[in-house]
Structure 1
Amino acid sequence: MEAPRRGNGSLGVSRGYSWGASAALAGLVGLLIAATVVGNVLVVLAVRSSRALRAPQNLFLVSLAAADILVAALVMPFSLANELAGAWAFGPAWCRLYLALDVLFCSASIAHLCAISLDRYWSVSRAVEYTRRRTARRIKGVIGAVWLLSALISCPPLLSRPAPDGPPGCRLNDETWYILASCVGSFFAPCLVMGLVYVRIYRLAKRRSRSLSLKPPPQPRRGASRRNSVDAPDARSGRALDLWAAAASSRRGREGSVSGGGGSSVSQAREKRFTFVLAVVMGVFVLCWFPFFFSYSLYGLCREACQVPEPLFKFFFWIGYCNSALNPLIYTVFNQDFRRAFQRILCGARAGRGQRRRRGRRRGKPQQQERFLP
């Protein structure tokens, strides 16, 4: 039996599928590709069109969505064709490029999540200082570095050549050093960094919340305005950590924290909700890709003695691809700003005007003024 192949998710050349099985598999993968493209395009449009989602750090989500779209457009169709045909039929040049793109987009996805985790940590540990320095230009520079690092990781498939003997296929270098290096560099090392960072965020938020609960609230000086007392750096940093701890515990607690503060606390509460959502995104990514990378690295260590059955390895491989379609669903379930933006995009301007009219009625505005709303 051949070595596991990163490029097509197969342990060996396929023996062929019946017409019914081929149609079913093509239909499932077609739905996966469509869901990935549509969902991530909605993410890009939501960040660009929604005022609540225009924060610079959300550029990470746009770039991550772009990587998922490219996976669906440039990798999944060829993986499906290779699986159904049982052999690579697109030539050695495209094989090398296809393998490099597969490694590139997977590495870019986890590198984005790693950069996002560090951004969340700095926004919690240095709330005031880091928020002032976090600009769209800096975020774009970090995104560029993420893609450059991912491109360097994906270079070996471009430089290697397929084996001249054996059945026609498209597979990565089968040497142990490359298998282990690619698994560590593309998955295990970034996962370790993200795990340590989020543990640090949790401990920092918990410690600050405990200290705030034990300390009585400061009394404002006579003559000091409420706005000045709310916007003090120490209070703002402490409240940010407290709101993040509430966000991790329950949604009701998060909403209660938001309703009790001013404009600054609302924006910080939204940022901490994003931290919670992105922690879920990271967890789902690890769950989707861990089985593949674990079984692939086991094969690199002990070869046939640790090789998983072919159908199971294929399942692990395609579960990893499913992760590209899950992020928009996570945003929809856990973040109300994305839900509202998706509804506005899907339902159109008419639904948006209807929502504004309903809000105007609740606020007691005259109905004659509603027709002048944009």
Structure 2
Amino acid sequence: MEAAITLPNTSSNSSGTGSTPHSPVATGLILLSTLAILLATVVGNVLVVVAISISQVLRAPQNLFLVSLASADILVAIIVLPFSLANELIGYWYFSGLWCSLYLALDGLLCTASIGHLCAISLDRYWAVTRAARLNLRRSPRRVKGMIGAAWAAAALVALPPLLWAHPRSEKCQLSQETWYVLASRVASFFAPSFVMVAVYCRIYHLTTWQTAAFLPACTLHPASTGNSKKGLRVGMLDWQQWSQHQSMLLCRRRLVRAQERRFTIMLVVVMGAFVLCWFPFFFTYSLGAVCGEGCQVSKPRFRFFF
């Protein structure tokens, strides 16, 4: 996101004799890996949009979150990644200063909106668990679109204001590097949504576990409660059969609940693990540089890799 990009000077830009920052092998690897990420991002998210658009089953209001999220990620791949790749391979910002400012703003907007959608989805799932009856009545397309609009508006508030004081024709193409803005924007873009997501998903897991455990009925039938008469014997035999069937049902339900909890846990680990793995290194190192200054900044190649 708002990483500093140095603009080329006039002589190097006009002559085009500047050396590339990477060896041919490294350049090839960077090119192939980034193009693979770009292609996977576009194809995967287009498939999400198409599937929800053509499937009647998937046209539930809450899936509008996925459509908007996929759209943001598609725009990242189409608008942001190609220019990031060109800047990395060339070694300087080849394009105009105005486009540099727009590029950085769009990068911040789209990436923050993507994270905001993930946070909104987690809140929607939490309300679905805690307020199932009322939420199903209120989960209309209008309500979901309102939450999506809020995610985009919050992203705009974080990413776009620095354009007001940016200087696209200055020697360096960068947005505000002031500590207060870097920290405030990083908290709003990543750390606060991450805290909300972790807290909400942990709460969902505990609520789901408690609800499924409470759903299992206690075993109350027992053949010892029957009498010794013939009528009591017949009732006892009937109760014994019911008790045995009841036990089998309980065993099946327990196995089903354990399987559901296991799948839910794996899903949470994958989602949150991938989210933190992709975003935390960049946001942490970028915030660290703003707090500590030059003393604790990571090396430029490492930061560019995280970026």
Q: Into which bin does the TM-score normalised by the smaller protein fall?
A: 0.7 to 0.9
Q: Distance in 2 between matches of 1:202 and 1:153?
A: 31
- Equivalent position of 1:82 in the other structure: 87
Tell me by how many angstroms 1:209 deviates.
2.4
What is the identity, as a one-letter code, of the residue corresponding to 2:136? Answer: T
Match of 1:197 among 195, 200, 215: 200
Match of 2:260 among 231, 247, 256: 247
1:285 has 2:275 as partner: yes
- Equivalent position of 1:29 in the other structure: 34
Tell me the C-alpha RMSD between the 2 structures: 2.8
* TM-score for both structures, normalised by structure 2: 0.77
- What SS does the aligned partner of 1:51 have? coil
Q: Distance in 2 between matches of 1:151 and 1:293?
A: 18
Identity over aligned residues, as a percent? Answer: 55
Q: Distance in 1 between matches of 2:38 and 2:31?
A: 10
Q: Distance in 1 between matches of 2:20 and 2:257?
A: 52
Q: 1:312 to 1:213 in 2, by over 3 A?
A: same
- Equivalent position of 2:178 in the other structure: 175
- Equivalent position of 1:128 in the other structure: 133
- What SS does the aligned partner of 2:175 have? coil
- What SS does the aligned partner of 1:89 have? coil
Tell me by how many angstroms 1:5 deviates.
5.8
Q: Distance in 2 between matches of 1:8 and 1:67?
A: 23
Higher relative contact order, chain-length normalized (CA < 8 Å, sep 6+): 1
Tell me by how many angstroms 1:281 deviates.
3.0
Q: Distance in 1 between matches of 2:2 and 2:62?
A: 36
Tell me by how many angstroms 1:44 deviates.
0.4
- What SS does the aligned partner of 1:129 have? helix
- Equivalent position of 2:3 in the other structure: 6
Q: Distance in 1 between matches of 2:4 and 2:109?
A: 12
CA offsets 1:301-341 (integer angstroms, 9 cap, x no match): 11122111222212212xxxxxxxxxxxxxxxxxxxxxxxx
What is the identity, as a one-letter code, of the residue corresponding to 2:57? Answer: A
Contact persistence 1:88–1:169 (CA under 8 A): no
Q: Distance in 2 between matches of 1:105 and 1:278?
A: 24
Q: 1:84 to 1:304 in 2, by over 3 A?
A: same
Tell me by how many angstroms 1:26 deviates.
2.0
- Equivalent position of 2:304 in the other structure: 314
Gaps of 5+ in 2: 7-17, 221-254
Map 1:33-48 → 2, pairs under 5 A: 33-48=38-53
Gaps of 5+ in 1: 218-241, 251-272, 318-374
Q: Distance in 2 between matches of 1:152 and 1:208?
A: 39
- What SS does the aligned partner of 1:289 have? helix
Tell me by how many angstroms 1:296 deviates.
0.9
1:300 has 2:290 as partner: yes
* Higher-Rg member (1/2): 2
What is the identity, as a one-letter code, of the residue corresponding to 1:205? Answer: T
